[in-house]
Amino acid sequence: MTRTVLISTMLAGLLVAAAAHAVEPADKLKSDIEATCAAYEKTDVMIPMRDGVRLHTEIYRRKDQTGSTAILMNRTPYGIDSATYPCTPTLTTGLQPLRDDGYIVVFQDIRGRFKSEGSFEMLGPLRHLTDPKATDESTDAWDTVDWLVKNVPDNNGKVGVTGVSYGGWTSMMAGIDAHPAVAAVSPQASPIDTWIGDDFWRNGAFRLNYGFEYTGAMELSKTMEPFAFDETDSYAWYLKQGALKNFDTRIIGGRSRFWSEMMQHQTHDGYWSGRNFTRELRNVRVPVLSTAGWWDAEDFYGPLQISKGLGSNGTLVVGPWTHGSWNSAYAENKRGIAPLDFGADTGAYWRQEIQRSFLAHYLLGKPAPDLPRALSFRTGVNQWMRYDAWPPKPTQGVQSLALGCDGTIALNAPPATKPCRASYVSDPANPVPYLSRPFGPFYGGRGVDKTYRSRWPSWEAQDQRFAANRPDTLLFTSPPLTEQFVLTGEAELTLHVTTTGTDGDFIVKLIDIYPPTDPEHWEMAGYQLMLDHVVQPGRYLEGNAAPKKMQPGRVYEVKFHFTGNDHAFLPGHRIALQVQSTLFPVIARNPQTYVDNIFEARDSDFRPAKIEIVFGPGQANRLALPRN
């Protein structure tokens, strides 16, 4: 492919990092957008909210529309205008094949973004549920829907709400305490708790490159311009900046409201719990189609938690996708995540057979789709699986695998009883990278290399061998399997650890190691495919409410809870774990010297620490895998 176009987040309705997925010959995409624009007429309006703030809205109806039809709405912080085309390109890139069903399509800049009035607040709390005079994204959605059904001609009184990532979150806000006209919502990759498992944190470990680059684009640039890096190697650039506090003093300078709030709220306090809408899911009374991707590097946790909280009115779909890639009709690789091949265009299946049928039933009165409570793509064997709930009850129980001090994982053996230790030294001056170096910023496309294509969207699916052989990483592996081993549900790992520091992060990766030879697919020989990873800061081992100093030499029992998997380890493959203490710059370096607030750590606080996995009586290190 010699001519390509990077579909921006604004166009695709995805987070910034997802943009690199959508690649198509420029002439083909251009002609498709022009044809779509010619088929629709646009109305540009400013819709008033209950507090007088007006939100910029574009309303599209097909020129050949006859009779009444439903409204399909998308509310986004990424901007709906196009300087190139007479209609928003999202009408083409983000709505295939929904355009063929004749919806009236509505796009809106959310409060405080682009042409909308008011003040923007990143993922703000649901204030109206306790203060009837307050506004939030739920009330803005309610007011918008109310205006649309009363003022847009030929609508049938039904509204569906869709969106990916931040747009998935605004979709959920529209479904909580929903307007009576809202008949269905399709939130995709919606965050639910950005401190526990989405976007900005992982169990209180700050996600540095995402937090810095994303908040910078959202709050430091009116046009969402990415930060201009002066080095091609993102790892080297972030390491050069030093402690977290330097990012504010040297670059941000208090100009980002959200960055400042994160600095002030490093624990899981009321600020973060107030933005977790799990308890408000009981107020969702409309059908919900929640979509997730197994290798979503941003918001995999949220959709699964949303599904758990919704009960019978929610359907969960999880496929072999990166962040939002299921919605990318113009993706370069439609069958997988290179070099992984899943045997079919699973994104097209989701768009055509799942979301299209779901919306057509609830908005247009078409036949009900045959959807279970949870529809999961089982990787390894490339099969769609149907479940009555997620996670499903393991049909073969939970198998406990014992880790050995010699780096083994035993499927059918008792835990080690002879005391021994496996160790590594974690040095913040030489952290484990999250990708093989060199790699650029996750946003991509600006700075010293303006042609750069980000490797961020697919990093979780990339070969982990670059980290496995480092001296600051422990690798535990099973023997080659003699029969298929299916993991379905939420795995759990128990490790007994000690450190010479007073703080530290403990990071584990669950991995499928492919056979060492594969004549037909040489690029997969020995491939180490990460299925999930968990980060557990030592400062929160005794609770999220307040950090606590670790005691050097004390043995801590650490529980790692994986988010979820549906994967078949095939014969000849090996089940593996990587254990490390850094994942840079995805996770900000822990100084390994306790400080009350890591945003206040000084460069001198960062010190090496020896980490040991302790084996012996009463200290069994085990991997528990639910089997199906």
For residues 80 and 524, give the distance between their C-alpha atoms in angstroms, rounded to a whole number.
41
Residue 19's pLDDT is: 35
Q: Say how many Å lie between the first and final Cα of the chain, rounded.
A: 42
3-state secondary structure 466-488: HHHCCCCCEEEECCCCCCCEEEE
Rounded mean pLDDT of the chain? 92
- What average pLDDT does this structure show over 331-349? 92
Residue with the bigger pLDDT between 444 and 341: it is 341
Residue 444's pLDDT is: 62
For the chain, the 3-state helix, strand and coil shares in percent, each to the nearest 5, are 25, 30, 45
Q: pLDDT by residue (tens digit) across 244-290? A: 999 999 999 999 999 999 999 999 999 999 999 999 998 899 999 99
Q: pLDDT by residue (tens digit) across 152-185? A: 999 999 999 999 999 999 999 999 999 999 999 9
Residue 520's pLDDT is: 86
Residue 53's pLDDT is: 98
Residue 594's pLDDT is: 98
Ordered by where they begin, the domains of the chain are: 5-192+277-387 (3.40.50.1820), 398-626 (2.60.120.260)
Model confidence, pTM: 0.94
Q: pLDDT by residue (tens digit) across 353-401? A: 999 999 999 999 999 999 999 999 999 999 999 999 999 999 999 999 9
Residue 329's pLDDT is: 83
Q: pLDDT by residue (tens digit) across 425-464? A: 999 999 999 999 999 998 765 444 455 578 999 999 999 9
Residue 16's pLDDT is: 33
Residue 566: both structure tokens together: 């549906």
pLDDT above 80 for 10: no
> Given the structure tokens 């299209």, which residue do they identify?
356
pLDDT above 50 for 21: no
Residue 389: both structure tokens together: 């709930």
Residue 25's pLDDT is: 55
